[in-house]
């Protein structure tokens, strides 16, 4: 039951983008088309889960054992940067169209604060490794859900008569705000 609560909380109640405001750059930058949003969600999911596993193990078995927990942030940043490079190389070999579609946003996963935020939150919430993996996967699913929903809405903008001053980023920010309000409706489900 505890894992179900972690999943519901991470996906809906404490959505990493809509409630905690982490990962806003790719949320707004890659949400123009559903295909790109799904690809970015997959890449971010892979990186978040893998980064959580590696950073948790390094925190527990190296940083805590040596008493250098203060090195957590810089260590996690270096690990995430290395993992993103690995994902970039794999995507370039496996799916060239997806690699080209993601363009500049794939290297931006390195600086995606959602990846670093999840790795740090797993440690701060005192999750064990399994709980951390469940939390990170659920958080990534929540990120992907929000990204794909916004991409679907943004694809429909072409069919609407949007005032000139609201086109582009302004309407996207308003839509993201309304989406965040909609996700606030799940607040009563889990504490």
pLDDT of amino acid 97 = 81
Tens digits of per-residue pLDDT, 81-103?
A: 988 888 788 888 888 887 776 66
User: Does 141 have pLDDT greater than 90?
Assistant: yes
Read off the pLDDT of each residue in 72-88 and give the average, rounded to a whole number: 89
* Residue predicted with more confidence, 41 or 130: 130
Tokens at 127, concatenated: 């999750």
Read off the pLDDT of each residue in 159-164 and give the average, rounded to a whole number: 88
pTM: 0.87
User: Does 179 have pLDDT greater than 90?
Assistant: yes
CA–CA distance from 137 to each of 102, 111, 189 (Å)?
21, 19, 20
Long-range contacts: 54-59, Cβ < 8 Å, 24+? 54/79, 54/83, 55/79, 55/80, 55/119, 55/122, 55/123, 56/119, 56/122, 56/123, 56/129, 56/132, 57/129, 59/123
3-state secondary structure 84-136: HHHHHHHHHHHCHHHHHHHCCHHHHHHHCHHHHHHHHHHHHCCCCHHHHHHHH
Residue 51 · residue 83 · CB < 8 Å: yes
Q: Considering the chain, what percentage of its residues have pLDDT values greater than 90?
A: 52
Q: How confident is the model at residue 191 (pLDDT cuts 50, 70, 90)?
A: low
pLDDT of amino acid 104 = 66
Q: Considering the chain, what percentage of its residues have pLDDT values greater than 70?
A: 96
Read off the pLDDT of each residue in 12-18 and give the average, rounded to a whole number: 92
pLDDT of amino acid 66 = 95
DSSP class per residue in 54-90: HHHHHIIIIIHHHT-GGGHHHHHHHHHHHHHHHHHHH
């Amino acid at each position: 039951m505890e894992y179900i609560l972690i999943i519901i909380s991470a996906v809906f109640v404490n959505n990493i983008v809509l409630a905690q405001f982490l990962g806003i750059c790719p949320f707004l930058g890659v949400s123009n088309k559903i295909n790109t949003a799904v690809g970015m969600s997959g890449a971010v999911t892979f990186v978040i889960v893998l980064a959580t596993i590696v950073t948790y193990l390094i925190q527990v078995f190296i940083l805590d054992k040596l008493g250098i927990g203060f090195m957590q942030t810089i260590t996690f940043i270096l690990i995430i940067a290395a993992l993103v490079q690995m994902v970039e190389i794999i995507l370039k070999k496996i799916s060239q169209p997806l690699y080209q579609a993601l363009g500049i946003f794939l290297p931006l996963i390195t600086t995606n604060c959602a990846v670093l935020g999840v790795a740090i939150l797993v440690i701060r919430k005192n999750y064990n490794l399994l709980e951390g993996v469940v939390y990170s996967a659920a958080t990534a699913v929540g990120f992907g859900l929000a990204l794909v929903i916004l991409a679907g809405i943004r694809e429909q903008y072409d069919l609407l008569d949007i005032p000139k001053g609201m086109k582009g980023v302004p309407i996207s920010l308003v839509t993201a705000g309304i989406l965040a309000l909609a996700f606030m409706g799940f607040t009563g489900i889990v504490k």
